[in-house]
Amino acid sequence: MPQMSPIWWFLLMMYFIIILMMFNSMIYFLFYTKMCNSLFLKKNKFNWKW
């Protein structure tokens, strides 16, 4: 299969989009936890004890 069929293009694009979304969510999760640890611990320091 030297030429690329549309199914291969679709699978490649899906693979690329999934990798990109996982990478974005990982960066967003790290950034969000860093922001949350700085803001959330200051604001809700007393709410951690149930």
pLDDT for position 24: 86
Range from 14-18, 23-27, 32-36, 44-48 that averages highest in pLDDT: 14-18
Q: Token pair of 11, please?
A: 């699978």
Phi and psi at 2, nearest 5°, equal -75, -40
Q: Rounded to whole angstroms, what are the CA distances from 44 to 1, 20, 21, 33, 49?
A: 59, 33, 31, 15, 10
pLDDT class of 45 with cuts at 50, 70, 90: low
- Higher per-residue pLDDT: 31 or 35: 31
pLDDT class of 41 with cuts at 50, 70, 90: low
